[in-house]
């Protein structure tokens, strides 16, 4: 666990959630969550050598700077889900630790560790579940109140190689038979990104086979007969790492419930536009794939036909016409749509024979002009 120097004398400060789980698992934590049993804002103000960066009064959280590092301290809080699928409402700030812990998602995320003594507080059996590699919800309404937890369960199962306990599986399956789509898809998207950025075929198999994908689309999806993880690994250098998740989730084709960025949207709509194309020549493959992102090309390969995709990435994608408009002008061709036709003529030849030189290209251009 990262060492933070807080001169705590209250004995009410705890590491909480993922950071405690990760320490027990000897894994590095992405962030450190601290919780104070009481009002964290008042507590932070009372600490020496601590700079207050930001206060969020309604949530009872405070961001502080300690030794140059920014850390959030939360007040213990109790919550209720007034509107299942959306953010909960806080009902109490400064509640006891147990109430704070039992509002959480899984027993493995419900452990607290006393900041001073290092004592682990385990109200829900999280230590045993970590030992037994088990993901278990804390109560039967957990997925109804927050369906994003179904994706979180998949994420943790794959990240740590854990299994969902049988009752948790049953609750998940029941929920997925009767989904309430009035949920925060912003949170769904966040969890999908975190899960599929793990680049795991195992995660994808579970996602489809267990119907978890139904959280994203009401359409029925069949699993492509291709190992997406292997394909992504093979062409990793061509993919923007922040789009890896979209190659998996994009196989659903209908992502209308998710708020996509402009780039993400274009990857999917470009795929929809080319999905029914069949190619008769390398030139057609080149012209089609050159105009879209590699992620779109991979979706075509995964869902339609991998053969032209491999051909494109291995043989065609680097083909370029070397001569320029200036060269065509020197050959006496006035700027017009003929330029594009002429370049296409050269490209067609280069797709057949990529070793053609610039002077070969000039000869093709001359023939075209004649």
DSSP 133: T
Tell which positions 32-51 bind ligand CTP, by CB under 6 A. 33
CB of 201 to ligand CTP, least distance (A): 20
CB of 18 to ligand CTP, least distance (A): 2
Q: Closer to ligand CTP at the Cβ: 152 or 214?
A: 152
Among 18, 85, 94, 147, binds ligand CTP (CB under 6 A): 18
Residue owning tokens 């992102």: 293
63 forms beta bridges with 54, 72
Q: Closer to ligand CTP at the Cβ: 38 or 126?
A: 126
State the binding string over 89-128 for ligand CTP (x if CB under 6 A, else -): ---------------xx---x-------------------
Q: From the CB of residue 63, how many other CB atoms can be counted at a distance below 10 Å? A: 15
CB of 165 to ligand CTP, least distance (A): 17
> In the complex, which residue's CB is closest to ligand CTP?
18
76 near ligand CTP (CB under 6 A): no
CB of 190 to ligand CTP, least distance (A): 8
Q: Closer to ligand CTP at the Cβ: 18 or 294?
A: 18
Tell which positions 192-211 bind ligand CTP, by CB under 6 A. 194
Q: How far is CA 131 from CA 1, 27, 128, in A?
A: 19, 14, 5
If DSSP codes are grouped into helix, strand and coil, which group holds residue 191? Answer: helix
The residue among 297, 314, 288 whose CA lies nearest residue 246 is 297
Q: Closer to ligand CTP at the Cβ: 77 or 350?
A: 77
161 near ligand CTP (CB under 6 A): no
User: Residue 273 is encoded by which pair of tokens?
Assistant: 């536009």
Q: Look at the chain and count its residues.
A: 370
Q: Closer to ligand CTP at the Cβ: 244 or 346?
A: 244
149 near ligand CTP (CB under 6 A): yes
293 near ligand CTP (CB under 6 A): no
Segment contacting ligand CTP by CB under 6 A, of 29-37, 74-82, 244-252, 273-281:
29-37
146 near ligand CTP (CB under 6 A): yes
If DSSP codes are grouped into helix, strand and coil, which group holds residue 6? Answer: coil
Q: How far is CA 248 from CA 177, 197, 232, 310, in A?
A: 22, 9, 10, 18
Identify whether the C-beta of residue 163 lies closer than 8 Å to the C-beta of residue 133: yes
66 forms beta bridges with 69
Q: Closer to ligand CTP at the Cβ: 12 or 149?
A: 149
147 near ligand CTP (CB under 6 A): no
CB of 138 to ligand CTP, least distance (A): 8
Q: Closer to ligand CTP at the Cβ: 33 or 229?
A: 33
CB of 55 to ligand CTP, least distance (A): 20
For residue 189, give every residue at least 6 positions away whose Cβ sits within 8 Å of its Cβ, in sequence order, or none: 258, 259
DSSP string, 38-86: S-HHHHHHH-TT-EEEEEETTTTEEEEEETTEEEEEEEPEEEE-SSTTS
Q: Closer to ligand CTP at the Cβ: 138 or 298?
A: 138
Strands (E), the chain: 13-16, 33-36, 51-56, 61-66, 69-75, 77-80, 89-93, 111-114, 120-122, 134-135, 163-164
Please give the residue ranges that form the binding site for ligand CTP (CB under 6 A).
Answer: 17-18, 30-31, 33, 104-105, 109, 146, 148-149, 152, 194
């Amino acid at each position: 666990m990262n060492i933070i120097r807080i001169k705590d004398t209250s004995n009410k400060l705890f590491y909480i959630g993922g950071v405690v789980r990760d320490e027990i698992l000897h894994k590095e934590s992405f962030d450190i969550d601290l919780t104070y049993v009481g009002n964290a804002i008042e507590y932070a103000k009372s600490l020496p050598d601590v700079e207050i960066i930001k206060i969020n009064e309604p949530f009872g959280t405070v961001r502080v700077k300690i030794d140059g590092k920014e850390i959030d301290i939360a007040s213990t809080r109790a919550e209720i889900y007034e509107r299942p699928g959306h953010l909960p409402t806080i009902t109490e700030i400064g509640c006891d630790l147990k109430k704070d812990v039992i509002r959480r998602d899984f027993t493995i995320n419900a452990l607290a560790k006393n900041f001073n003594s290092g004592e682990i507080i385990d109200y829900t059996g999280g230590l045993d579940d970590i030992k037994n590699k088990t993901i278990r919800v804390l109560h039967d309404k957990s997925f109804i109140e927050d369906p994003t937890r179904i994706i979180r369960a998949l994420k943790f199962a794959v990240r740590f190689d854990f299994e969902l306990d049988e009752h948790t599986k049953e609750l998940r399956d029941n929920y997925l038979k009767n989904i309430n789509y009035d949920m925060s898809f912003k949170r769904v998207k966040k969890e999908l990104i975190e899960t599929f950025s793990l680049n795991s075929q195992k995660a994808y198999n579970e996602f489809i086979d267990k119907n978890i994908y139904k959280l994203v689309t009401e359409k029925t999806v069949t699993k492509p007969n291709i190992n997406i993880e292997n394909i992504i690994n093979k062409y990793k250098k061509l993919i923007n790492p922040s789009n890896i998740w979209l190659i998996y989730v994009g196989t659903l084709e209908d992502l209308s419930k998710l708020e996509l960025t402009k780039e993400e949207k274009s990857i999917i709509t470009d795929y929809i536009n080319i999905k029914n194309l069949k190619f008769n020549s390398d030139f057609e493959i080149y012209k089609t794939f050159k105009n879209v992102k590699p992620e779109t090309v991979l979706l075509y390969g995964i869902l339609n036909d991998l053969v032209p995709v491999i051909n494109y990435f291995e043989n065609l994608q680097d083909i370029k016409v070397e001569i320029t408009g200036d060269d065509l002008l020197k050959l006496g061709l006035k700027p017009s749509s003929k330029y594009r036709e002429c370049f296409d003529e050269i490209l067609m030849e280069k797709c057949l024979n990529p070793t053609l030189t610039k002077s070969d290209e000039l000869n093709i251009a001359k023939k075209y002009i004649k």
